[in-house]
Amino acid sequence: MVTASALAVSLAAAAAFPAAAAATPYADSGATAQRAQLQQLARKLVEAGAPGVIVRVDDGRGRPVEIAEQAAWTRRDHLLTAGDEFRMGSNTKTMTATLVLQLVAEGKLALTDPVDKWLPGKVPGGKAITLRMLLNHTSGLFDYTDDAALRPSMLGRDRRRWTSAKLLAVGVKHDPLFAPGTKWSYSNTNYAALGAVLERVTGASLADLVRERIARPLNLKHTYYATDAAWRGPHAHGYEPDAAHMPPGVPAEFGRLAGARHHGHVDVSDNSPGWGGAAGAVVSTTQDWSRFSTALMSGRLLPAAQLAQMRATVPVDSQHPDGPGYGLGIQTGTHPCGTFWGHDGGMPGYLTTTLTDRTGGRSATVLISTELWAEFEADPKIAKAAQALQMAVTCTMFGKPVPNAAHAG
């Protein structure tokens, strides 16, 4: 959970449509045509089985395109709107990294600090693991979300409040995957450690840090760090198929999700994302996240030196050093329509992809209100429709026409 699965949809889409030169222009270049195309693709994604879809695209040249589509059976729970709050999952990592880099800029932390300096004895081998390694997933630490102890919380059956320290303790019970700094492997334990460091250095909670250093200065009224299941505003409901309708590729234990059941689905909206911690507990909206992305990439939240550090990437796949890269809490990849920056997030009921360009002048967010199909690559029909939508969203963000193949999605 809280994985890099959603951005994989973007990258898979890029692979599926490799030639931007094969693109056809819009029927006209206006926002009406853009909106109609994106709305059609969002509707196709719902028809393919997604309970709901929210899209927001800002190409930096006019009024953003905002779309909300939902399956008819979900309307009894909530009428979905483009302004609804939703679980951001691992997009949280970009905010956590921003907080760390702010403290670096203030001289309170250094990227070269060993984690043992701030959490003595809490991380085996912590003298050789730097904060930078935690931020860019080169520490070698085991991912705590792969431990069975987290499963009841992921399923909404255990409502305990997880702290950064407790999440970190689960992860470091396991042997490291490799020597620090020698490879790349996505691990939420890295960000549990960073959450504990932030709390130790500042004496403040992560919820307070997100509010005082990011949400309040940027006037993000629907962005907050969640420690329990409570929502603060109208919110998108998240769903997963019930046990009888779960795709065969999803492990059987995920058929035991807590929540109200109807129409072959479980409403997981009231399950707490708190187990995501500094790796995945933030709630936001498409508009708030666009404002955050713009502020971050344009240098409003970080000085130039720290923003450059954030953008310094390591290859996600060592066999393809020129392929997708991971910086400090942010990912990048080359798409047929442009080079994007951003992150993604996945937890039951909520699959999100957030994108921007290098300057923050353009941004896009896609929410799909079901996630396990992507986590376990279990539903080719939804995957195909999601790829087509993501391709169109990304090209629209860059002001480019969409490759022909995407229209058939």
pLDDT (0 to 100) of residue 130: 98
> What's phi and psi for 115, nearest 5 deg?
-60, -25
Q: Letter for the amino acid at 200?
A: R
- Active-site choice (5, 10, 29, 90): 90
- Residue segments in the chain with a per-residue pLDDT below the cut of 70: 1-31, 404-409
* pLDDT for 34: 82
Number of Cα atoms under 13 Å in the Cβ half of residue 28: 6
- 90 in active site: yes
The span from the CA of 139 to the CA of 136, in Å, is: 8
Q: Which helix (H) or strand (E) holds 342?
A: strand 338-347
Helices (H), 115-157: 115-118, 131-135, 151-154
Distance (Å, rounded) from C-alpha 295 to C-alpha 92?
15
Q: According to the model, what pLDDT value does residue 13 have?
A: 42
In whole angstroms, what separates CA 124 from the centre of its chain?
A: 28
Structural domains of the chain, ranges and CATH numbers in brackets: 5-407 (3.40.710.10)
Structure-block tokens of residue 24: 């056809």
Strand, coil or helix: 265: strand
User: Which of 409, 49, 104, 406 shows the shortest CA–CA distance to 263?
Assistant: 49
pLDDT at 76: 96
* Burial letters 240-262, b for 16+ CB under 10 A, else e: bbbbeebbeebeeebbebbbeee
Give pLDDT tens digits for 260-297: 999 999 999 999 999 999 999 999 999 999 999 999 99
Q: Collect all residues with Cβ–Cβ distance below 8 Å to 18 and sequence separation of at least 6.
A: 336
